[in-house]
Chains A and B, each alone.
Chain A
Amino acid sequence: MSAPEPTVYLVDDDASVCQSLARLMKAVGYRARAFSSSDEFLRHYRDEGPACLVLDMHLPGMTGLELQRTLTVAHRSLPIVFITGHGDVPTSVQAMKGGAVDFLPKPFLDADLLKAVGQALDRSAQQHATGLKLERVRQRLEGLTQREQQVLAGVVEGKLNKQIAAELGTTEKTVKVHRGRVMEKMEASSVAALVRDVERLRADGGAKPF
C-alpha cells in the first residue's frame, strides 16, 4: 500500500505569511493548503492521509488554541505546529499540553519550521499506520458471528472457557471451537495479541467492538 503525498495545512490571517509558507512547503515537496481563518480551514479539511497543521496562534474569530480544542474533541488527530508573533509562556504551555508538536515564535528559520513539520508528519504517518491496522482489526471483528463476538468478549475479559460456556448456556467444547474460529478470523498469533488489538480499538474510541 503506497503512502499518500503528505499535506501541510497552513492557517494564518496574514496573507503574506501564508503565501510565503506555502511556497516553502512546495519547495520541499509537500502539498500545501493555506487558509486565513479557522472556520475556512474546518470547512475544507478532509482526513486524507498523513498531514499536519501549521497554525497561527492569534486569529480573528476562532483562535489557534480554540481550533486545537475543536479538533481534539472531534477526535481528529492532526498534529499541530503553532507559530505566533506574540509568544507568551502560558499560551505556549497550553498549546503543548494540548498535544502540539512545537511552538515557534515568529520570525523563524525555515529549517526550524521544516524540522517541526517533519516531526508532525511522522507522527501523522504513524497515526495513519496505526489507524489502518485498527481498521483491519475492525473489519475482521465485523466478520465474526454474534456468538463468536460473545466468546471474544469473554476471552478479552480473561474468562475461562468454562465460565464463558456457563454464561452463554452452552458446553465448554462448543466454546473451544468458537474460540479457535475467532483466533483464525482475527488473524491473531496469540491470545495476548488478540487482546491488545481489541483494547487498541476500544482506546481509539472511534469504534465500538462490543
Chain B
Amino acid sequence: MVTNVRLRTVDRRGQLTARLDESEQRFLRLADAAPVMVWVSGLDKGCTYFNRRWLDFTGRSLEQELGSGWSTGIHRNDFERCLEIYTQAFDARREFSMEYRLRHHSGEFRWIWDIGAPVFGPQGIFEGYVGSCVDVSERKRAEQRLRESREMVSSVVASLYGHVAVLDRTGHIIAVNDEWLRFVRDNGADEAAASVGASYLEACHKAVGLGDESAEKAVAAIEGVLNGSREHFSMDYACSSQGVDRWCEMIVNSLRRPEGGAIVSHIDITARRRAEVEAQRLQQELSHLARVSTMGELSASLAHELNQPLTAILTNAQVAQRLIAAGNPDLVELGEILADIVADDQRAGEVVHRVRSLIHKGNVETQRLDLNSVVWDVVRLVRSEALIKDVKVILELNPLPMMIRGDRIQMQQVLLNLIINGLEAINESGSGDATLVVRTKLADEQWVQVSVEDTGVGIEDSALESIFQPFHTRKTKGMGMGLSICRSIVQAHGGRIWAKRGGERGAELHVLLPVDLELRP
C-alpha cells in the first residue's frame, strides 16, 4: 500500500541514505509523475516530502523545502491564514482546502489551490497529512476578470440615468436598474410584473389591450428588436406619473450577444420638452414682436394706404351733401356715390384686416398655401411704402400656384422682412434705378423658390452669413432680429434661406421651401 510505504519513508526522515524498498520507490515515481504538486507532512506538522512538480515549481531543493522550509515561499499576506487553517485542521484531523500565493521560481507569486487530507494507518492510527496542489492563477485571473466585468456592467446599468431593463429574447426581464424599480413603484404599477423574471412584452401587450397607443408602438418595436428585424427604436410618449403629466422617451436597443435580447430604457424628458415648448413660445413671442415692430416701421405707408379710401369716402360724402343741399339731386348719381363709398370702406377694411392679421398673436397654423398668394398679400401691404420710397416693384411670379405647407402669417412675415429690407437698402443707396424684383419659381420637382432682388447698397461678402445672426443690423432703428427670425421660420418649414450679391449691384435673398406634393391645388 502506498500509504504504508510513504509513512515508512516519513519515519525514516533524516535518514535519506537509508534503503528504500520497492514500493517506496514506486510511490515516489508515482508522486513525481502526478499532474499535481504533492506534499507530505508527519506527526509534528513538519513536511517530510515534496514531489518533483512542487520542487520544479518553486525551483528549490527538497532539502530547502523540508520541515518548515516551504513557508518562505508563501506570500506573507497569506501565510498566517494558511497556517491557522492547517493547524486547526491538523489538530482536528480534518480535511482542509485553502488558496494561497506561492512563489514561482520566476519570482512571481502564483495562486495555489491546496487540498490536505489526514492519513491513517491500517489500525486507524493517524500518521500525518498528504496534500495536493494545483496552480489556479489562470482561473483566478479569469474569475477576477469576469467579476470585474460583471461589476462594471451592473454598475453601468445601475448608474444609467434612465429607467433600464434588459430583456432576453422572449421578452422576459433579466436585469433592471434601481431607477427602473423606483419608476415602477412611483407609478404605482405592479412591481412583480416589471421585475426580473416577469415578461415585459406581456405587460406591454396588456397595456395595448387597455387602449394605450404608445404601448402598441412599443410592442412592435420590442418585437422587432428581439427578432432581429431592427437594431434600434425610440419614441417620445406622454404619460402621467404621480398625477403629473410627463413626457418620456422610450429607447429599445438590441442586446448584442448570441442569445439575443434587448435593452429597454425610458428617460423622463419632461424638462427637455418643457424647455422646447418654452423655446417655441419665446420664438413665437419674438416673431410676433418683430411683426409688430415691422408694422411700426410701416406705419407711415399704412397711413397712406388708409388715407386713400378715407379721402375718397369723405369727398364723396361731402359731394352728396352738396347735391342734396342744392335741391332736386340726381338719384342715380347719389346711388353711384354711395356705391363708391361702400367700396372704399371695404378697401380700408381690408388694409386694417391685413395689418391686424399680422399683428395678431395667434398660434402657428400649418395649411396648404400658394406662395404666390402670400407674395400678393405682402406686396399689397408694402405698395405704399414702395411708392413713398419711390421704388418700382416688379413681380415675376410663376404662373402656376406654388403650393407649400406652412403658416400664412409666418410666410408673410418672411416676405415682408425681405421686401422691406430691400426697399431700405435701395433707399440707402439713393441710386437712380430703384427696382425691387420678387420672383417665384419651381426650383425642381421638390422645391419652390422665392427670391427678392434689390438694386440697393448690397451686402459685403463677409456679411452674407452673419446677417442671419441675431442682433446683426445696419440700421439705426430695429432690433437686428429680422433675418434671424426669417431663418428660424424658414427652417421650421423645412426650407433654407441664403443671401447673395446681386448681379451688378444690390442683394438677392433666396428662400427654398419644400413643395406640398398633394396633387389638388
A-to-B contact residues, CB < 8 Å: 13-14, 16-17, 19-21, 23-24, 27-28, 58-60, 63, 83, 85-86, 105-110, 113
Interface residues of B in 272-320 (CB under 8 A from A): 300-301, 303-305, 307-316, 318-319
The CA-CA distance from A63 to B17 in the complex, in Å, is 137
Flag if B318 contacts A110 (CB, 8 Å).
Answer: yes
- CB contacts (< 8 Å) of B104 on chain A: these are none
Flag if B311 contacts A85 (CB, 8 Å).
Answer: yes
Q: A16-B344, A17-B308 are in contact. Are A86 and B316 (CB under 8 A)?
A: no
Residue of A nearest to B389 (CB): A58
Q: Is B340 an interface residue (CB 8 A)?
A: yes
Q: A16-B343, A86-B303 are in contact. Are A58 and B387 (CB under 8 A)?
A: yes
- CB contacts (< 8 Å) of B2 on chain A: these are none
Query: What's the least CB distance linking B343 to chain A, in Å?
Result: 7
The CA-CA distance from A21 to B310 in the complex, in Å, is 12
Q: A85-B307, A110-B319 are in contact. Are A16 and B388 (CB under 8 A)?
A: no
Residue of A nearest to B392 (CB): A60
Residue of A nearest to B321 (CB): A110
Q: A19-B340, A23-B337, A86-B301 are in contact. Are A109 and B318 (CB under 8 A)?
A: yes
- Could you name 26 residue pairs across A and B whose Cβ atoms are closer than 8 Å? A13-B387, A14-B311, A14-B312, A16-B312, A17-B312, A19-B340, A23-B315, A24-B315, A24-B318, A27-B319, A58-B304, A83-B311, A85-B304, A85-B305, A85-B307, A106-B307, A106-B308, A106-B310, A107-B311, A107-B313, A107-B315, A109-B314, A109-B318, A110-B314, A110-B318, A110-B319
Q: A16-B347, A19-B340, A28-B322 are in contact. Are A106 and B392 (CB under 8 A)?
A: no
The CA-CA distance from A14 to B311 in the complex, in Å, is 10
- CB contacts (< 8 Å) of B312 on chain A: these are 14, 16-17, 19-20
Flag if B315 contacts A21 (CB, 8 Å).
Answer: yes
- CB contacts (< 8 Å) of A86 on chain B: these are 300-301, 303-304, 307, 384, 388
Flag if B340 contacts A110 (CB, 8 Å).
Answer: no
Q: A16-B347, A20-B315, A86-B303 are in contact. Are A60 and B387 (CB under 8 A)?
A: yes
Flag if B316 contacts A23 (CB, 8 Å).
Answer: yes
The CA-CA distance from A63 to B392 in the complex, in Å, is 12
Flag if A23 contacts B319 (CB, 8 Å).
Answer: yes
- CB contacts (< 8 Å) of B314 on chain A: these are 107-110
Given contacts A16-B340, A27-B319, A107-B311, 9 further A-B contacts (CB under 8 A): A14-B311, A17-B311, A19-B340, A20-B312, A23-B337, A106-B311, A109-B314, A110-B314, A110-B318
Flag if B384 contacts A85 (CB, 8 Å).
Answer: yes
Residue of B nearest to A59 (CB): B387
Query: What's the least CB distance linking B516 to chain A, in Å?
Result: 35
- CB contacts (< 8 Å) of A110 on chain B: these are 314-315, 318-319, 322
- CB contacts (< 8 Å) of B309 on chain A: these are 16
> Residue B322 contacts which of A27, A59, A109 (CB distance < 8 angstroms)?
A27
Query: What's the least CB distance linking A118 to chain B, in Å?
Result: 15
The CA-CA distance from A23 to B329 in the complex, in Å, is 13
- CB contacts (< 8 Å) of B301 on chain A: these are 86
Q: Give a binary string over B319-344; 1 marks a CB under 8 Å from any A CB, 0 the rest.
A: 10011001000000100010010011
Q: Is B56 an interface residue (CB 8 A)?
A: no
The CA-CA distance from A106 to B307 in the complex, in Å, is 6
Interface residues of B in 430-468 (CB under 8 A from A): none
- CB contacts (< 8 Å) of B326 on chain A: these are 27
Query: What's the least CB distance linking B336 to chain A, in Å?
Result: 9
The CA-CA distance from A21 to B312 in the complex, in Å, is 8
Query: What's the least CB distance linking A59 to chain B, in Å?
Result: 8
- CB contacts (< 8 Å) of A13 on chain B: these are 387
- CB contacts (< 8 Å) of A60 on chain B: these are 387, 392
Flag if B308 contacts A16 (CB, 8 Å).
Answer: yes
Flag if A20 contacts B388 (CB, 8 Å).
Answer: no
- CB contacts (< 8 Å) of A59 on chain B: these are 387
Q: A86-B388, A110-B322 are in contact. Are A20 and B308 (CB under 8 A)?
A: no
Query: What's the least CB distance linking B246 to chain A, in Å?
Result: 55
Flag if A20 contacts B304 (CB, 8 Å).
Answer: no
The CA-CA distance from A192 to B308 in the complex, in Å, is 53
Q: A16-B312, A17-B308, A108-B311 are in contact. Are A24 and B340 (CB under 8 A)?
A: no
Interface centre among A13, A14, A83, A113 (most CB of B within 10 A): A14
Q: Give a binary string over B384-396; 1 marks a CB under 8 Å from any A CB, 0 the rest.
A: 1001101010000
Residue of B nearest to A57 (CB): B388
Query: What's the least CB distance linking A170 to chain B, in Å?
Result: 59
The CA-CA distance from A184 to B84 in the complex, in Å, is 163
The CA-CA distance from A58 to B318 in the complex, in Å, is 24
- CB contacts (< 8 Å) of B388 on chain A: these are 58, 86
The 9 closest A-B pairs by CB, nearest first: A85-B307, A85-B304, A20-B315, A110-B318, A107-B311, A16-B312, A106-B311, A106-B307, A86-B304
Interface residues of B in 340-368 (CB under 8 A from A): 340, 343-344, 347
The CA-CA distance from A6 to B323 in the complex, in Å, is 20
Interface centre among A13, A27, A59 (most CB of B within 10 A): A27
Flag if B308 contacts A14 (CB, 8 Å).
Answer: yes
- CB contacts (< 8 Å) of B305 on chain A: these are 85
- CB contacts (< 8 Å) of B392 on chain A: these are 60
The CA-CA distance from A13 to B312 in the complex, in Å, is 12
Query: What's the least CB distance linking B40 to chain A, in Å?
Result: 120
Flag if A20 contacts B340 (CB, 8 Å).
Answer: yes
Query: What's the least CB distance linking A103 to chain B, in Å?
Result: 14
Q: Give a binary string over B66-106; 1 marks a CB under 8 Å from any A CB, 0 the rest.
A: 00000000000000000000000000000000000000000
